[in-house]
Chains A and B, each alone.
Chain A
Amino acid sequence: MVDLGLKTLLFDKVRFLITVSGVAFAVTLVLVQGGLFVGLLDNSTITIEKLGADLWITSKNSPNLDFVHQFPEANLYRARSVPGVARADNLILSFMQVALPTGAEETTIVYAMTDFSRWGVPWELAEGSLAGLESGSFVAFDESASKRFGAFGVGDYREVNGQRFRVVGKTRGAKSFTTTPLAFMDFHRAQELQPDLLAGKTSYIVVKLAPGADVAAAKTELERRLPYNDVYTAKAWADRSRDYWVANTGIGFNAFLTVFLGCLVGVVVVAQTLYTSTMEHLKEFGTVKAIGGSNLDIYRMLGQQASVAAVVGFLLGYVPAQLLKPVIASAGLKLIIRPQLTASVFVGTVVLCLLSAIVSFRKVKNIDPALVFRS
């Protein structure tokens, strides 16, 4: 069958380019904004996901990963005695000040454990080693800290809360939602740095269950034995932390608004271009009817044109979004475009383009038959 719709669409190359450019722009905008949103939220929970704990024990009503209160570190032994618990450790998470060579100070979020090697953090070491952290005043910073702290290397010294520490490692990918750099040090050293806050205290107890253990049962027993704490599965804790930032900072609304505006731009461009094209080809559509075509034949053509514009526009918009990843990474941000986001944007693009085509249907339905006879 002769594909009149497709051939007409591609015949006017300039108009086709304009149409798909509008769609591509909208797609890029939505993918980048959505990807930035996911990237930001990823930072808010990445340590939860990477650490590898099945359960997180927190102080009561802690709102998210970064904002916690301390509780007695001795609660660890109650946690370890619960059936099904393979191992449990204390984890301190605390904001501390780092003195820079310039004399200024910057904030860091300190993660402190007695033995990081039993857990999944830090998950990537770019340089150096965390072995022997407990043997002295040693610290590892994430390499992203160079943005705020200035350049540093393994072997350098930095003051943390007024105490001199030797940098023994540079991690990679360890970031917080607020982009405050992360630091890793020994549990007891951290307590010494903030004795008023941390002496005899911990921020979390992280729990790894034995293979086959009943998660719900272990959680219930932990809650029973630690009534002044909250116990979350890793997923629940990650969700809570994520939801906090979405609800309390407006980033959710910001992301929604940008995605909405991106979609609106795409719809308006496609609708306008298709409508203009329909008006210019009205005589042709009238001829289609005259030579035996129906309104449905023409609707199919318009729908096909909208679909082709959607698919081509999506592909043209997807590529720049992927190419922007390193550019965005250089700014210290993460662009995460997951298959679900890609699929959603693709389906949304096709649906919105088809809806745009409907604007033209009414015009087609009411074509003046005498139009085909006019010069």
Chain B
Amino acid sequence: MFTVVAEDVTKTFREGRETVTVLKGASLHVEPGEVVALEGPSGSGKTTFLSILGCLLSATSGNVVIAGEKVDPARPSACQAVRRRHIGFVFQQFNLFPALTAAENVEYALNLKGVDGAAAKEQARSLLERVGMADRMRFLPRDLSGGQKQRVAIARALVASPSLILADEPTANLDASVATQVLELFSELARREQRSLLIVTHDPRVRHVADRVVGIADGRIAA
């Protein structure tokens, strides 16, 4: 079973009186444990495609199935449930909550997925250990480096063991050595835990860890 099945996905936006079609029949399949790099110029539809696969945006038409669950745009609560159960996000800007410590950022994501109390604390600690952040658990994001923040973000993305991790330019704000470490972490997650990774990127180093590089241009996925 594919982790991601996207078939003929289109997305149209209304901008004033004009209609803009950002995705024009994009199709993609991602297998369990596969790392796919999605490359394309600005305006090609990468973020829109990522948003649809992440159940943050509904497609105008087409078929999207995540971990065997069909994403139905007419049922927002069902989309939210798919997001909760199967998808983790890693963002370019890390998107950590500045008022929470590293441990609390991960713990909060667990709380949203129904894990509370001591169990959430223990899981958060364990996840942060896995990404090498055990000694920074009580630090606020403002006291962490870029690489450390991204590690915390990855730990957060891993809560509830999602089948799919969507990463938007995860190395864009990191220096070379840190970027390499983060990519190695990604690679390890895919290989060891059979998680699928879809990485939107302009970073050529991602190609080294990707099983497949897919291009997107003018709203269409290139083979």
Quote the shortest CB–CB distance from B85 to chain A (angstroms): 8
Residues from chain A with Cβ under 8 Å of B89 in the complex = 287, 290-291, 372
Give the residue of A2, A8, A372 whose beta carbon is less than 8 angstroms from that of B91.
A372
| Contact of B91 with A369 in the complex, beta carbons under 8 Å | no
B151 contacts partner chain A, Cβ-Cβ < 8 Å: no
Quote the shortest CB–CB distance from A190 to chain B (angstroms): 72
Q: Known: A1-B116, A4-B99, A292-B84. Contact between A375 and B111, CB under 8 A?
A: no
B139 contacts partner chain A, Cβ-Cβ < 8 Å: no
Residues from chain B with Cβ under 8 Å of A294 in the complex = 77, 80
| Contact of A292 with B99 in the complex, beta carbons under 8 Å | no
Number of A-B contacts (CB under 8 A): 81
Give the residue of A1, A8, A284, A291 whose beta carbon is less than 8 angstroms from that of B156.
A291
Give the residue of A297, A369, A374 whose beta carbon is less than 8 angstroms from that of B112.
A297
- How many residues on A have C-beta within 8 angstroms of the other chain's C-beta atoms? 24
Residues from chain B with Cβ under 8 Å of A1 in the complex = 111, 116-117, 120
| Contact of A370 with B91 in the complex, beta carbons under 8 Å | no
Residues from chain A with Cβ under 8 Å of B3 in the complex = none
| Contact of A287 with B97 in the complex, beta carbons under 8 Å | yes
Which of B30-38, B101-109, B182-190, B204-212 is the contact stretch?
A: B101-109
Quote the shortest CB–CB distance from A16 to chain B (angstroms): 11
Quote the shortest CB–CB distance from B79 to chain A (angstroms): 10
B98 contacts partner chain A, Cβ-Cβ < 8 Å: yes
B113 contacts partner chain A, Cβ-Cβ < 8 Å: yes
Residues from chain B with Cβ under 8 Å of A8 in the complex = 97, 99
Quote the shortest CB–CB distance from A350 to chain B (angstroms): 23
| Contact of A287 with B100 in the complex, beta carbons under 8 Å | no
| Alpha-carbon distance between A7 and B100 when the two chains are bound, in angstroms | 7
- How many residues on B have C-beta within 8 angstroms of the other chain's C-beta atoms? 36
Q: Known: A8-B99, A369-B51, A373-B168. Contact between A288 and B112, CB under 8 A?
A: yes
| Contact of B109 with A291 in the complex, beta carbons under 8 Å | yes
Residues from chain B with Cβ under 8 Å of A289 in the complex = 56, 80
A172 contacts partner chain B, Cβ-Cβ < 8 Å: no
Residues from chain A with Cβ under 8 Å of B48 in the complex = 370
| Contact of B112 with A291 in the complex, beta carbons under 8 Å | yes
Q: Known: A283-B95, A370-B47. Contact between A292 and B100, CB under 8 A?
A: no
In the complex formed, the residue of A with least CB distance to B115 is: A1
| Alpha-carbon distance between A369 and B73 when the two chains are bound, in angstroms | 14
Interface of A is mostly: helix
In the complex formed, the residue of B with least CB distance to A293 is: B112
| Alpha-carbon distance between A290 and B97 when the two chains are bound, in angstroms | 13
Q: Which residues in chain B, 153-207, are within 8 Å of chain A measured between CB atoms?
A: 156-157, 160, 168, 172
Give the residue of A7, A369, A374 whose beta carbon is less than 8 angstroms from that of B99.
A7
In the complex formed, the residue of B with least CB distance to A287 is: B95
Residues from chain B with Cβ under 8 Å of A11 in the complex = 98-99
1/0 per residue, CB under 8 A from A, across B85-96: the answer is 000110111010
| Contact of A292 with B51 in the complex, beta carbons under 8 Å | no
| Alpha-carbon distance between A310 and B87 when the two chains are bound, in angstroms | 37
B83 contacts partner chain A, Cβ-Cβ < 8 Å: yes
For A2, A288, A370, the residue with the greatest tally of chain B CB atoms inside 10 Å of its CB is: A2
| Alpha-carbon distance between A284 and B105 when the two chains are bound, in angstroms | 12
| Contact of A2 with B111 in the complex, beta carbons under 8 Å | yes
1/0 per residue, CB under 8 A from B, across A1-32: the answer is 11010011011000000000000000000000
Q: Which residues in chain A, 46-77, are within 8 Å of chain B measured between CB atoms?
A: none
B40 contacts partner chain A, Cβ-Cβ < 8 Å: no
| Alpha-carbon distance between A287 and B95 when the two chains are bound, in angstroms | 7
Quote the shortest CB–CB distance from A5 to chain B (angstroms): 9
| Alpha-carbon distance between A290 and B57 when the two chains are bound, in angstroms | 10
B217 contacts partner chain A, Cβ-Cβ < 8 Å: no
Quote the shortest CB–CB distance from B108 to chain A (angstroms): 4
Residues from chain B with Cβ under 8 Å of A284 in the complex = 95, 97-98
Quote the shortest CB–CB distance from A49 to chain B (angstroms): 53
Interface pairs (21), CB distance under 8 Å: A2-B100, A2-B108, A7-B97, A7-B104, A283-B95, A284-B97, A284-B98, A287-B91, A287-B95, A287-B97, A288-B112, A290-B56, A292-B80, A292-B84, A293-B112, A369-B51, A369-B56, A370-B56, A372-B56, A373-B51, A374-B93
Question: Which positions in B face A, CB cutoff 8 Å?
Answer: 47-48, 50-51, 54, 56-57, 77, 80, 83-84, 88-89, 91-93, 95, 97-100, 104, 107-109, 111-113, 116-117, 120, 156-157, 160, 168, 172
Question: Which positions in A face B, CB cutoff 8 Å?
Answer: 1-2, 4, 7-8, 10-11, 283-284, 287-294, 297, 369-370, 372-375
**3 nearest A-B residue pairs (beta carbon):** A369-B56, A11-B99, A292-B84
